[in-house]
A = this chain, B = another copy of it.
C-alpha cells in the first residue's frame, strides 16, 4: 500500500487522497484504514462543538495559530452543517482564507454532512486517524452541536470543548442546553462583550450544581474539574489559556483513569458505527428490489412499513 507508506512518513498529499477515498466510501480503502487506525493513536483529539453563532470557526483559527506558535502541528476537520444535496463547505473555506493556508504544520479538511446517516461519522473519524498517522500532534474536530451525528462525533474525541457565546437568542439557548453536559472544557467566546461575564457565571453555577459527569479516584475526588475558559477572538484574550487547559486535560487523560475509560467508549462507538455502516450497506443492496416492489402498496396504505420490514428481515439470520 504505497499511499499508506507515504502517509506515515508525513506526506500530506497522500493524506488528502486517503481522506477523499474514505469519504467516497469505496470498499478498497477499508483495509488501508484498518492499517492507519493501528498506526494512529499518538495525537490528542479535541472535539469542539457549539451552537450556530457561537463563533466556533474564528476560535478554531485562533487556537490553530496558538498551537503553531508553540511549534506543534495541528489538523482540523471542520464538519459543515450543509446541504444533503449541494454539499458545500463554507466554514472550511473561511478558515482556509486566513494566513494559515500556506503553513505545512496545519492541515484543514472540511466535510459536508451529505450522504447517508453514519457516513459523516465514518469519514470524519477516518480523517482523524489519517492525520494522526501522519504525525500531527493535535487534531481538532469542529462540529455544530446540533444533530445526533454531530454530537456523537464530537464525543469521539479525547477532550470535548463546548463553546458558548453571550447574547444568543432563546431558540439557540434551548439547543445549547443539550450539549453542555458533554463538555470537558467550557469555552465562552466573545469575552470582549460586556454580557460575557453573565454567560461565564451561568456556566459556573451549572457546574456547581454537578451537571457534568466526572470520573472519581479512590479518594472520591473527581479526576477532572470541568473549567470555564473565557476567550476573545477579537483581542486574543484567553486563547493561550485555552491551549494550556487543553494540554492539562490531555495530561490528565494520559496519566489517570480518564484516558482508558474514554478510549474504551470511543472504541466501542467506532466498532458499532463501522459495523452498522457495513450492515446497512449490505441490507440496502440485498433488499432494494423487494422494497421497490412494495413501495406502491405501502404508499397506498395497503401494507404498513412494519409488516414490510418484518418481511424484509425474514430471511436474514441475525
Contacts and interface: CB of A to CB of B under 8 A. Distances in A.
Interface of A: 30-31, 33-35, 37-38, 40-41, 51-57, 80-86, 88, 90-91, 113, 117-118, 120, 144, 146-152, 168-169, 171-172, 174-175, 177-179, 181-182, 260, 263-264, 266-268, 270-280, 282-284, 286-287, 291-292, 294-296, 298-299, 301-310, 312-313, 315-318
Given A35-B304, A52-B53, A270-B298, 9 more contacts: A81-B175, A82-B174, A147-B147, A260-B299, A275-B305, A279-B279, A279-B283, A279-B313, A279-B316
Contact of A83 (B178, B274, B303): B178
A308 to B, nearest CB: 5
B144 A175 contact: yes
B264 A299 contact: yes
B171 A53 contact: yes
A86 B169 CA distance: 21
Contacts of A56: 171
Contact of A275 (B88, B268, B282, B312): B312
A306 B33 contact: yes
Contacts of A292: 268
Contact of A37 (B120, B304, B318): B304
A133 to B, nearest CB: 10
Contacts of A177: 82-83, 86, 88, 90
21 contacts: A34-B304, A35-B304, A37-B304, A37-B305, A41-B301, A54-B171, A81-B178, A84-B178, A86-B181, A117-B148, A144-B146, A146-B146, A149-B149, A263-B299, A264-B295, A267-B299, A270-B305, A271-B294, A271-B305, A273-B305, A276-B283
Contacts of A147: 81, 113, 146-150
A313 B278 contact: yes
Nearest to A180: B83
A35 B296 CA distance: 17
A316 B171 CA distance: 45
